[in-house]
A and B are shown apart, each in its own frame.
Chain A
Amino acid sequence: MSRTLAEKVWEAHVVRHGSGAEPDLLYIDLHLLHEVTSPQAFDGLRLAGRGLRRPDLTIATEDHNVPTIDIELPIADPVSRTQVETLRKNCAEFGVRLHPMGDAEQGIVHVVGPQLGLTQPGMTVVCGDSHTSTHGAFGALAFGIGTSEVEHVMATQTLPLRPFKTMAITVDGELQPGVTAKDVILAVIAKIGTGGGQGYVLEYRGSAIEALSMEARMTVCNMSIEAGARAGMIAPDQTTFDYIKGRPHAPSGADWDAAVEYWRTLRTDDDAEFDAEVRLDAAELTPFVTWGTNPGQGLPLSASVPDPETIVDENERVAAEKALTYMGLEAGTPLRDIHVDTVFLGSCTNGRIEDLRAAADVLRGHQVADGVRMLVVPGSMRVRAQAESEGLHEVFLAAGAEWRQAGCSMCLGMNPDQLKPGERSASTSNRNFEGRQGKGGRTHLVSPLVAAATAVRGTLSSPADLV
């Protein structure tokens, strides 16, 4: 029978099929841990007298709470420090490999897995973090789970799950210069809405997706959750294999050949049917930014703040009114006229080396505008080291930006990098929710190119505006 990519990966991991309403039991190939969603799960194991079934399929990093300056000092916030120390104790007790603050492999969990070669096509990958969908860029079935499920995977290396529906997101054509993977996914979310992907695994396909690098594919899959989807996937191809080859945990020798032979089968069959299909024309896409307080409230940079009165659906109209009040914006204001205080370049969405290179290319020879601070936060220490070996840090510093250590940083308000009430940011992260970057903070989601251009002009801008 013809099957989609997601169905193939699912079937390959069914430990036992459920009967009737009972879910399938799915085997998990890789379990990623961080300090925030794991302590209660470890406690649960201890309380029940259960062990960690597969420490050799489990790996932990410290990311959400870590400061991105002065990392040689103890974490100042005692509650954050306790959470990080708890992870260290738990990993030591249960035999889990941990990359702590300061370690050469430390970083955001979704940056670390792929760069170590631990994320491979056809695998099932879970983490107590919704952006686990990032790993779907490799043709893995990767999704975020809650802490109860984290404990379940720890104890059994499986999860009881009902099959997801499948949705094809086809993006054909060629992206124009200055239009990036971030713009593609923001446009997808604006099109299908924050609930549009609910219950689905999204498979991104089409010539524009095939032309993307692995890092760009990760950006796209990363934000699948912002469309409500459990996971996003892209069929593995030569780009994928080239990226994995030679990484620390990649197969080698005869194992490599066997793996690639299997990976080549991980494509949606030509006559397989999706439960839903959406199409976008790559050539029509332009730099995209959000104006509101959910990631579906986005528009091309050339547009203006929408007028809620023109929105027909009552719930959406009320949501738009509340968003404009929170964001301190007036309907009709051109998006390009919106001033920002802060620019954040980083996160599991856009904190990889290509993102830093793209932003540095825009910043070269320019200065960050007066009154604007720009934080550049590599997604991992390895990304940081790579950037420094290419001299990118010098570009950022010369432009007046701050060059930080690795972590989740200003993507979420759990560490010292936060917006103050009323401050406005252009951010390459993934969520513009109320208070996400700090209580009262206002977030506009943008690509690394738009972030860099915005830093220079002080208003939402694209690189074309700098010429």
Chain B
Amino acid sequence: MDAFTRHTGVGVPLRRSNVDTDQIIPAVYLKRVTRTGFEDGLFAAWRGDEQFVLNQEPFRAGSVLVAGPDFGTGSSREHAVWALMDYGFRVVISSRFADIFRGNAGKQGLVAAQCEQSDVELLWKLLENEPGTEVTVDLTANTVVAKDFTAPFTVDEYTRWRLLEGLDDIALTLRHADDITEFEQRRQAWLPTTDPLPAG
């Protein structure tokens, strides 16, 4: 994972609440076995509408998505994060994220920045009144800045540290391999395994 400290890019106002992961990327795009190239599936149904924000210049080249509450609900598909990142997004701002989406974003280096809904509304107005406005998201200071607008955001402390350092979760866990082995020796013998049962 690449480290993330600060990002500046065109802000995209997405005035919708409950943007579920089926909208971010419909199931038909999940059939691939690769990890890249999901940008064509991003908001696929909505992009068929030429009024959709990502079909408007200068939002087409946006990299900071500003969405309504409950972003990323529904299916656990990490493809939603991959699609956003493959398209070019580095940050999503919302007043409330679904848990699994937030976790997936943190694993991939997409910043899920949680702001007050009142700040999201101000940012929407700014981005709609002055399309193409650049938004700077600074993870060292936990601030969102656009022109004279400034607001704080939160990400959980551990995710923030991992993002700033660009650390791989599995490598971090494997430092505790001895603890895992010791735990396994304490597990109850009657817990099930998936080993095939003898016939009959």
**Chains A and B form a bound pair:** yes
Binding site for B on A (CB under 8 A): 15-16, 18, 20-23, 25, 27, 29-30, 36-37, 39-40, 43, 48, 50, 53, 55-59, 64-65, 77, 79-80, 82-83, 86, 97, 117-118, 120, 123, 128-130, 144-149, 151-152, 155-158, 160, 162, 194-195, 198-199, 225-226, 228, 230, 248-251, 255-256, 258-259, 262, 294, 315-316, 318-319, 322, 412-414, 431, 433-436, 439
Q: Is B78 a contact partner of A37 (Cβ separation < 8 A)?
A: yes
CB distance from A56 to the nearest CB of B (A): 4
Top 6 nearest A-B pairs by Cβ distance? A21-B157, A148-B107, A146-B104, A146-B78, A255-B190, A39-B33
| In the complex, residue of chain B having the shortest beta-carbon distance to the beta carbon of A60 | B194
List of B residues within 8 angstroms of A319 by Cβ: 16-18
Q: Is B35 a contact partner of A414 (Cβ separation < 8 A)?
A: no
Q: Is B194 a contact partner of A157 (Cβ separation < 8 A)?
A: no
Name 7 interchain pairs, CB-CB below 8 A, sorted by A.
Answer: A36-B77, A37-B76, A58-B194, A86-B33, A157-B184, A248-B197, A294-B20
Task: Give the number of chain B interface residues (Cβ < 8 Å).
Answer: 63
Binds A, one of B83-91, B126-134, B145-153, B167-175: B167-175
- Which of A16, A128, A147 is packed against the most chain B CB atoms within 10 Å? A147
Known: A86-B33, A145-B100. A156 touches B17 (CB 8 A): no
Q: Give Cα distance in the complex from A26 to B116, angstroms.
A: 31
Q: Is A162 a contact partner of B158 (Cβ separation < 8 A)?
A: yes
A-contacting residues, B31-84, CB 8 Å = 31-35, 45, 68-70, 73-79, 81
List of B residues within 8 angstroms of A156 by Cβ: 170, 173-174, 177, 180
CB of B103 closer than 8 Å to a CB of A: yes
CB distance from B112 to the nearest CB of A (A): 12
Binding site for A on B (CB under 8 A): 15-18, 20, 22-23, 26-28, 30-35, 45, 68-70, 73-79, 81, 96, 98-100, 103-104, 107-108, 117, 156-158, 161, 169-170, 172-174, 176-177, 179-180, 183-184, 187-197
List of A residues within 8 angstroms of B45 by Cβ: 434-435, 439
| In the complex, residue of chain B having the shortest beta-carbon distance to the beta carbon of A13 | B183
CB distance from B20 to the nearest CB of A (A): 5
Q: Is A30 a contact partner of B192 (Cβ separation < 8 A)?
A: yes
Known: A79-B32, A146-B107. A228 touches B78 (CB 8 A): no
Q: Is A129 a contact partner of B76 (Cβ separation < 8 A)?
A: yes
Contacts between chains A and B (CB distance < 8 A), count: 209
Q: Give Cα distance in the complex from A318 to B15, angstroms.
A: 9
List of B residues within 8 angstroms of A128 by Cβ: 76, 78
Q: Is B173 a contact partner of A433 (Cβ separation < 8 A)?
A: no
| In the complex, residue of chain A having the shortest beta-carbon distance to the beta carbon of B15 | A318
CB distance from A188 to the nearest CB of B (A): 16
Q: Is A145 a contact partner of B170 (Cβ separation < 8 A)?
A: no
List of B residues within 8 angstroms of A414 by Cβ: 27-28, 30-31
Q: Is A194 a contact partner of B70 (Cβ separation < 8 A)?
A: yes
List of B residues within 8 angstroms of A318 by Cβ: 15-17
Known: A120-B192, A228-B73, A255-B190. A413 touches B173 (CB 8 A): no
Q: Give Cα distance in the complex from A249 to B195, angstroms.
A: 9
CB distance from B56 to the nearest CB of A (A): 18
Q: Is B173 a contact partner of A97 (Cβ separation < 8 A)?
A: no
Q: Give Cα distance in the complex from A256 to B188, angstroms.
A: 12
Q: Give Cα distance in the complex from A403 to B96, angstroms.
A: 42
Q: Is B170 a contact partner of A228 (Cβ separation < 8 A)?
A: no
Q: Is A431 a contact partner of B76 (Cβ separation < 8 A)?
A: no
Q: Is B76 a contact partner of A433 (Cβ separation < 8 A)?
A: no
Q: Is B158 a contact partner of A21 (Cβ separation < 8 A)?
A: yes
Q: Give Cα distance in the complex from A421 to B81, angstroms.
A: 27
List of A residues within 8 angstroms of B108 by Cβ: 148
Q: Is B99 a contact partner of A160 (Cβ separation < 8 A)?
A: no
List of B residues within 8 angstroms of A86 by Cβ: 33
Q: Give Cα distance in the complex from A136 to B18, angstroms.
A: 25
Q: Is A59 a contact partner of B100 (Cβ separation < 8 A)?
A: no
List of A residues within 8 angstroms of B22 by Cβ: 412, 431, 433-436
Q: Give Cα distance in the complex from A412 to B184, angstroms.
A: 37
Known: A56-B195, A434-B23, A439-B26. A15 touches B183 (CB 8 A): yes
List of A residues within 8 angstroms of B31 by Cβ: 36, 65, 77, 79-80, 82-83, 414
List of A residues within 8 angstroms of B195 by Cβ: 56, 97
Q: Is B172 a contact partner of A160 (Cβ separation < 8 A)?
A: yes
Partner of A144, one of B69, B76, B117, B189: B76
CB distance from B130 to the nearest CB of A (A): 22
Q: Give Cα distance in the complex from A20 to B103, angstroms.
A: 19
List of B residues within 8 angstroms of A436 by Cβ: 22, 27
| In the complex, residue of chain A having the shortest beta-carbon distance to the beta carbon of B101 | A146
Known: A16-B179, A259-B190. A294 touches B107 (CB 8 A): no
Q: Give Cα distance in the complex from A359 to B190, angstroms.
A: 37
Q: Is A59 a contact partner of B194 (Cβ separation < 8 A)?
A: yes
